[in-house]
Amino acid sequence: MKMQYDLRQEALALSRARRSKIAAGTRPAIQAAAVAAAEFEEPQEPLALDLHVETAALQRAHRALRASNTFASPKWTDEEGLGLSWPCPVCGTLLEKGEKVVSPSAGAELDGPAQAEEVLGARIEVLEELLSKTRPQAAEAAACQRRLRAAEAKTVDLEAALDLASRTCDELFSTLELQTAEFQAFAAQVRAAAGPWLEQQNQLEVQLGAVLKAITLPGEKPNKLREELQTERRRLQVSRRRSRRESAQKHEATIRALQTKLLEAEAPERTGLEQDLRQQLDRSSLKASERLGTNCRAKQDRLESALAQQQAKATEEATELKAQVAALEEGAEAKQREAHEAKVSRAKLRIQRTGEGKGLVARSLEVLSTGVVVYKLCAGNGKWQERFLAVTPAPPAAPESLKWSKDVSRRRLSSPSVVPLKEVVHVGFGSDALPEKHRQEVSWCCFSVWTAQRSFHFKAGDERIAENFVLGLSRLCPGTKPASVHSLILHRALGKLGPDGAARAAAISAAVRRAAEVRKEELQAAESAQAAKSEEEDEDEEGEESEHTSDEEKSATSAEPERIPIKNRAALCSYFDALDNVQQRDVVCAKMS
């Protein structure tokens, strides 16, 4: 009981101390600290520890009061006779009616409303203190809940963005695979179309190498022909000597047989026979020597004529080779000149383009200040309408605004629409920025002007007008990047090739096929002309060979010796002497030749 009473006294002392602090002005400071903690949402760890300690003390007091069951809510009878109940001074729990509060010291009832009011005031102070300490934690919990909800919302947005990004990546990968397959097919077609042309080029290189190899040895061919002629002449001389030796051996055998016959014959007949034989031998030796001399002279003449023909042919071939070398040198020089001229023309074209770019910028500023009639896309009805478009003010003043009006016939800016040049953030070229239904086939005649609030789309009747406006406006507007002439030319070329990559690839492949077909036709024509020329040369060579073989056959038939009938021995002796003379003449002729 004493312990319970001590706890109650401790609670009352604590409440009185708090009331004294509040009276001294400490409550506003506590409230200001609580509000500042709620605003900054910082954790209040010391206050939380005090709160836990006081809550534990109150719980201990509550358990002690409920365990003893000796305290009850104060009860008394008012003027009307009604019973009033007061809660527990520690926890505020109402007890049943009829129970009395016994004083822990004397066991008597409380002194009525005064002491009950004091107890209630202490309890209210404790509750207010608890509320002031729990308010920052509640604010912190609310801030944490708000951050949690914001994090959850961000998580949902991130999940949606990730899903969209994954779908976009899948679409891009599929598109890339399709483009890769199309490019591989196009590359295969280009290789297939360029295969015959490469083979023909290799053949031409081989032929050119053969011609160059023939050109490098123009003086050796006549020397080789001379050596071949001399070798053929030696071979003919050896064969002629061998045939003469064989014929002489046959004649000697015949003579020996005749000598034996003559010895067996009678002496008178032998004398007459010898005389006849000598006469016949003399005549035959003269005829044979004349025939042999004629044949030798004819052979020598034929050899000399053949040598002259070979020399003339070699000279002609050397002349042709020199002409071919000169033609090749001229072709190489012409190609070098063409390459040099092409290089010079490209340099001039670059210089001209640079000058044209500067002149084009000046002309574009002149066109902008003069004004032109263009078509403007109306945002209200979505139709193209004619407008007179110009930049004002005109030179020499600096242009400040872009204006257009409906007064197309007089070409005046009456009641114009105005866009200040300093508000322009982008000047576009082409119809890619237009909606799908308003895109034009002639996209290189369209241009657009963008501001921070909206965009204006125009269509010119000529591509030069669109280029002039893009060049001029991109340089007059301070918020835009100047456009280059090269980029405009490239954009126009890409637009003329096709609206997308597939159409451009198809146009380029068609041009490559046409060029390959033209090159193939040229090579076929050159091959047919070369074949016709080679056939004519073969026919000429065959005619010369047939004439040469007929001459050799005639000389061989004329060189065969006639068989002479032998009648006497004297003729045989004279025949042998003639043979010796003929051999000496052959040696002399060989030395002379």
Confidence of residue 451 (pLDDT cuts 50, 70, 90): very high
User: 411 and 348, same structural domain?
Assistant: no
Q: 393 or 69: whose pLDDT is higher? A: 393
Q: 390 or 200: whose pLDDT is higher? A: 390
User: 137 and 68, same structural domain?
Assistant: yes
Q: 228 or 64: whose pLDDT is higher? A: 228
20-57 pLDDT, tens per residue?
666 555 445 445 544 444 444 444 444 445 556 666 66
User: 145 and 111, same structural domain?
Assistant: yes
**Is residue 17's pLDDT more than 80?**
no
User: 382 and 307, same structural domain?
Assistant: no
Domain that holds residue 25: 2-155
- Pick the most confident of 432-441, 499-508, 528-537: 528-537
**Is residue 277's pLDDT more than 50?**
yes
Select from 132, 155, 178 the last residue of a domain. 155
Q: What is the mean pLDDT of residues 396-418?
A: 85
| pLDDT of the residue at 404 | 92
pTM above 0.75, yes or no: no
User: 138 and 17, same structural domain?
Assistant: yes
Q: What is the mean pLDDT of residues 328-356?
A: 78
| pLDDT of the residue at 425 | 92
Domain count, the chain: 3
Average pLDDT, whole number, for the chain? 72
d(CA 177, CA 342): 40
| pLDDT of the residue at 5 | 54
Least-confidence region, from 37-46, 87-96, 159-168, 298-307:
37-46
Q: What long-range pairs does 361-367 form, CB within 8 A, spacing at least 24?
A: 361/471, 361/472, 361/475, 363/468, 364/467, 364/468, 364/469, 364/471, 364/472, 365/395, 365/472, 365/475, 365/476, 367/465, 367/468, 367/469, 367/472
**Is residue 384's pLDDT more than 70?**
yes
User: 130 and 26, same structural domain?
Assistant: yes
Domain membership flag for residue 177 = no
* Residue 195 amino acid letter: G
Domain membership flag for residue 137 = yes
Domain membership flag for residue 211 = no
**Is residue 169's pLDDT more than 60?**
yes
For the chain, what's the residue count?
Answer: 593
| pLDDT of the residue at 504 | 75
User: 421 and 287, same structural domain?
Assistant: no
Domain membership flag for residue 583 = yes
- Pick the most confident of 371-385, 431-445, 533-547: 371-385
| pLDDT of the residue at 353 | 61
Q: Which two tokens stand for residue 515?
A: 């060029």
| pLDDT of the residue at 96 | 45
Confidence of residue 449 (pLDDT cuts 50, 70, 90): very high
95-119 pLDDT, tens per residue?
444 444 444 433 444 455 666 777 7
User: 347 and 401, same structural domain?
Assistant: no
64-90 pLDDT, tens per residue?
655 554 444 444 344 444 444 445 554
Domain membership flag for residue 200 = no
Confidence of residue 273 (pLDDT cuts 50, 70, 90): low
Q: Which two tokens stand for residue 166?
A: 């994954």
d(CA 87, CA 101): 11
Specify the CATH number for the domain of residue 438: 2.30.29.30
- Give 139's contacts (C-beta < 8 A, 6+ positions apart): 37, 38, 41
Sort 303 into a burial class: Cβ within 10 Å, 0-12 / 13-18 / 19+.
Answer: middle
Confidence of residue 246 (pLDDT cuts 50, 70, 90): confident
**Is residue 91's pLDDT more than 60?**
no
Least-confidence region, from 251-265, 321-335, 555-569:
555-569
User: 410 and 347, same structural domain?
Assistant: no
372 - beta bridge partners? 389
**Is residue 220's pLDDT more than 80?**
no
User: 383 and 344, same structural domain?
Assistant: no
Q: What is the DSSP letter of 401?
A: E
User: 263 and 151, same structural domain?
Assistant: no
Domain membership flag for residue 398 = yes
Secondary structure in 3-state letters for 370-393: HCEEEEEECCCCCCEEEEEEEEEC
Select from 155, 171, 195 the last residue of a domain. 155
Select from 155, 190, 205 the last residue of a domain. 155
Yes or no: say if 413 and 390 are a contact pair by the CB < 8 Å rule: yes
Q: 181 or 226: whose pLDDT is higher? A: 181
Q: Is 426 left (phi over 0), alpha (psi -120 to 50) or beta?
A: beta
| pLDDT of the residue at 294 | 84
User: 150 and 20, same structural domain?
Assistant: yes
| pLDDT of the residue at 373 | 92
Domain membership flag for residue 405 = yes
d(CA 144, CA 127): 25
Distances (CA, A) of 40 to 33, 44, 137, 139, 140: 11, 11, 12, 10, 9
Domain membership flag for residue 184 = no
| pLDDT of the residue at 389 | 92
d(CA 28, CA 14): 19
